[in-house]
Amino acid sequence: MSKIEFKAESKRLLEMMINSIYTQKEIFLRELISNASDAIDKIYYKALTDEKLVFNKDDYYIKVTADKANRTLTISDTGIGMSKEDLENHLGVIAKSGSLAFKNEHEAKDGHNIIGQFGVGFYSAFMVADKVTVITKALDSDRAYKWESEGAEGYTIEPAEKASVGTDIILHIKPNTEDDQYDEYLDQYRLKAIIKKYSDFIRYPIKMDIAGKRLKEGSDNEFEDYVEEQTVNSMVPIWRKNKNELKDEDYTNFYQEKRYGFDKPLKHLHISADGAVVYNAILFIPENTPYDYYTKEYEKGLELYSSGVLIMNKCADLLPDYFSFVKGMVDSEDLSLNISRELLQHDRQLKLIAKNIKSKIKGALQSMLKDERENYEKFYGSFGRQLKFGVYNDFGANKEDLQDLLLFHSSKEKKLVTLDEYVSRMPEEQKYIYYATGENHARIEKLPQTELVADKGYEILYFTDEVDEFAIKMLMKYKDKEFRNVSSGDLGIEASEEEKKAESEAADNKELFEHMTKLLEGKVKTVKASKRLKSHPVCLTSEGELSIEMEKILRAMPN
Ligand code: ADP
Ligand code: MG
């Protein structure tokens, strides 16, 4: 039996992880228990569609056993198990390609825990173990295998004996060192507390043999040792619990346990709806943009449970695209399990839930904007673009939902403002909502086109994101005020005496302007005397619907 080396990438990732990624070593247990629970879920799925398989709930559990004398901690499950190929594919390669590059890129910026995101939770075992042995037998297989590894060097796989389907993960716990204590991971009370903290709502029983001393029967001073198998977790899913019983920390733990993200949620919504449609949901607004958020790879969706059983990992129909950043789960008893997963999307109940959820998210964002401005701006920094795309897409069909959630930088306030704030400050004679586009604030401030508007004392919104102007074109108006680019031909500002003078000067120098227009033929449409320049000799403006910036973007787009 030869040792197979981990792929080079895996090796480095493993080393980094053991040494630095997780701040709390204790979460290895959460990861291993989640995997065990996932493995039981997989059998459950199978039983749903395979008539030969009967899922008898009592047969499915997770057991955590500490053996102090041998320094081993075993996490056993009666889940689906792993074949030899599974062992090679799932435990032989750490993370998917690209994740290491991602980590290198981001580590410097934020010391976040990326492990959950890349499906390498299993390897967190090496934070507390110097050797990990996996003995597993897959469903539909009469063979069992033993996988073993001492860390970065590689692993071995060999045939093994195991009577029943499922997996035992055996951790050989590291000896204590001067800096790090590992004994606690062999202590039954400590283990019990860790399970309670992170895995309480796991739907299958997590059992432990708890040892104790008790009075001998019939005696009042003689004690005896006893061992009792206990189910440590309450198995009540957090979403079925009363909101009043839950602390922020419980939601954060749930978010991290579920690996919804590697950040902390900015806000959570706990919904217990029992109107036209009955469902429970826990939704999260993340703090940070997932690394693949603005790419095609990103998949939106919520976990969908039917009466407490996961039936879909990412139900996309539950979220509109413009709220695709929302994470979380929905559990409903109204969804019939007879409906195949494909048919679910046409389910009337599901549509009702989606509609309901949409308005809850909108409401949550609005109240955050109103009452927790700082948090809202954090959120907007991460996901504001998505809201703007939302306004732009579907020909502005969602503008009612979104326009009041938008923020833009204001020339006056020097910070982000809402359209409502802008409009409510407009002087009576101001006709339009003015905006200027450019790469960044500094550049916009230097635009000669802003001078006239700013001189009038009008506020200008700075558009630095490509999508800004496109979104605004879809809105067209906000509270009956049209948007106007400061570089557009008609600014709707009354001509002053000076400006009238400029007009007559222009007429006097007609020939000169005609000559300049000719010289610049093909580059500009016309050269005119401007009424709006104060300190700059010249500026470019556009006529019609498209601003110069939009033309640039459209030209750059592939046909
Ligand atoms: P993730 O759980 O995010 O996929 P992990 O590193 O935790 O990543 O696990 C990797 C894979 O190993 C799992 O997806 C699963 O296929 C397999 N696996 C891990 N533990 C078990 C287990 N107890 N039973 C069956 N398969 C498992
Ligand atoms: Mg896992």
- Provide DSSP, 264-303: -EEEEEEEEEESSSEEEEEEEEESS--TTTTSTT----EE
Of the residues 32, 35, 310, which should be mutated to test ligand 1's pocket, given the most ligand atoms within 8 Å of the CB?
35
Our CA angle for 402, 468, 439, nearest 5°, is: 150
Q: At what angle do helices 27-49 and 248-257 cross, to 10 degrees?
A: 60
Q: Whose CA is nearest to atom 4 of ligand 1?
A: 119
- Check: CB of residue 310 under 8 Å from CB of residue 288: no
Q: How far is the CA of 323 from the centre of ligand 1 (A)?
A: 30
Side chain identity at 47, as an amino acid letter? A
- Check: CB of residue 72 under 8 Å from CB of residue 170: yes
Cβ < 6 Å from ligand 1: which residues? 31, 35-36, 38-39, 77, 79-82, 90-91, 119-122, 167
Atom of ligand 1 nearest to the CA of 79: 24
Three-class secondary structure of residue 435 per DSSP: strand
Cβ burial of 191 (10 Å; 0-12, 13-18, 19+) is buried
How many Cβ atoms sit within 10 Å of the Cβ of residue 295?
Answer: 8
Q: Whose CA is nearest to atom 8 of ligand 1?
A: 119
Residues of the chain where predicted confidence (pLDDT) is lower than 70: 1, 6-10, 17-23, 93-120, 309-310, 336-346, 494-500, 502, 531-534, 543-546, 548-559
Cβ burial of 172 (10 Å; 0-12, 13-18, 19+) is middle
Q: Is 238 left (phi over 0), alpha (psi -120 to 50) or beta?
A: alpha
Our CA angle for 240, 243, 245, nearest 5°, is: 95
Q: How far is the CA of 425 from the centre of ligand 2 (A)?
A: 52
Distance (Å, whole) CA 7 – CA 21: 19
- Predicted pLDDT of residue 494: 67
Q: Whose CA is nearest to atom 11 of ligand 1?
A: 90
Distance (Å, whole) CA 538 – CA 541: 10
Quick one: which of 2, 1, 17 has its CA closest to 151? Answer: 17
Q: How far is the CA of 373 from the centre of ligand 2 (A)?
A: 36
Alpha-helical (H) ranges within 308-456 are 348-371, 373-392, 399-402, 419-425, 441-446, 450-455
- Predicted pLDDT of residue 276: 82
Distance (Å, whole) CA 324 – CA 301: 7
Quick one: which of 326, 322, 353 has its CA closest to 260? Answer: 326
Exposed e or buried b for every residue in 176-189, given b needs 16+ CB within 10 A?
eeeeeebebbbebe
The residue with tokens 């948007």 is 483
Q: Which bound ligand lies closest to the C-alpha atom of 74?
A: 1
Number of Cα atoms under 13 Å in the Cβ half of residue 239: 29
How many Cβ atoms sit within 10 Å of the Cβ of residue 443?
Answer: 13
Q: Whose CA is nearest to atom 13 of ligand 1?
A: 90
- Predicted pLDDT of residue 15: 73
Three-class secondary structure of residue 356 per DSSP: helix
Quick one: which of 391, 392, 394, 462 has its CA closest to 433? Answer: 462
- Predicted pLDDT of residue 548: 67
Q: Whose CA is nearest to atom 1 of ligand 1?
A: 119
According to DSSP, the β-strands at 408-410 and 416-417 are antiparallel
Side chain identity at 230, as an amino acid letter? Q
Q: Which bound ligand lies closest to the C-alpha atom of 135?
A: 1
Distance (Å, whole) CA 375 – CA 287: 9
Atom of ligand 1 nearest to the CA of 166: 24
Q: What is the DSSP letter of 73?
A: E
- Predicted pLDDT of residue 533: 67
According to DSSP, the β-strands at 72-77 and 223-231 are unpaired
Distance (Å, whole) CA 278 – CA 335: 10
ipTM higher than 0.90? Answer: yes
Distance (Å, whole) CA 257 – CA 237: 13
Q: How far is the CA of 122 from the centre of ligand 1 (A)?
A: 6
Q: How far is the CA of 169 from the centre of ligand 1 (A)?
A: 11
Kindly write down the DSSP assignment for every residue of 100-153, as one continuous string.
HHHHHHHHTT-----HHHHT-GGGGGGGTEEEEEEEEE-TT-S-EEEEEE-STT
Q: Specify the pTM.
A: 0.65
Both structure tokens of 384? 């504001």
Q: At what angle do helices 373-392 and 348-371 cross, to 10 degrees?
A: 130
Residue range 20-65, pLDDT digits in tens: 666 678 889 988 998 999 899 888 878 877 888 887 888 999 999 9
Atom of ligand 1 nearest to the CA of 86: 16
Spatial strand order in the sheet of 309-315: 265-274, 278-286, 327-332, 302-306, 309-315
Both structure tokens of 176? 């204590």
